[in-house]
Amino acid sequence: MIQEPFMRELYVRTIQQYSRQPNEAELVAWLSVLGENSYADVDSALRRWSANTATDMHTGRIAGARMPAPAEIKSMILSFDRSQSERFQHCEKCHDGWIQVFEGKSMGGNQVSPKIGAAKRCECWFAWIDYKNAPGGQPKLVREKHEQPAT
């Protein structure tokens, strides 16, 4: 949760960027709408907003050229959170969904050299792919035998 002095700092920086005068009621609205978010989330969303060069379909102006309403910043935070939750997160047994094996078959079906080893996809990768490809976002059963890492 962002504290009032930090929100005030973000608010003042933003109004200065857009050549606006401070308004206590507007600051209260920022605190009300954005107060449950972290400083980093609000700051990041404000930076993304000002970097937005897309043309606003209603005004014909560049979207980042006007000061955002608190609800627009909140929407950016929520949208960014959703996009991050859809990213692959590897488990503690692998590196970015890959494990090194020294026996069995490689991803290409070749015998693995015990001296050199090979890289295989980890089970967490297949579980994530199943989740991403499942209709309605419901994960399928995780592969139980196929592509299990060698132990």
- Among 85, 111, 127, give the residue marking a domain's end: 85
Decide if 15 contacts 22 (C-beta within 8 A). Answer: yes
Tell whether 125 and 139 lie within a shared domain.
Answer: yes
Quick one: DSSP state of residue 104? S
- Find the radius of gyration of the CA atoms of the chain: 24
**113 and 139 together in one domain:** yes
Q: Which of 41, 65, 85 is the last residue of a domain?
A: 85
Q: Which two tokens stand for residue 27?
A: 């600051």
pLDDT at 83: 66
Average pLDDT over residues 4-10: 90
Mind listing the pLDDT tens digit for each residue in 49-100? 999 888 888 888 888 888 999 999 999 998 887 666 667 778 888 888 888 8
Q: Looking at residue 144, what is its pLDDT?
A: 39
Q: How far is CA 103 from the centre of its chain?
A: 36
Instruction: Give the residue numbers spanning the domain of 41.
Output: 4-85
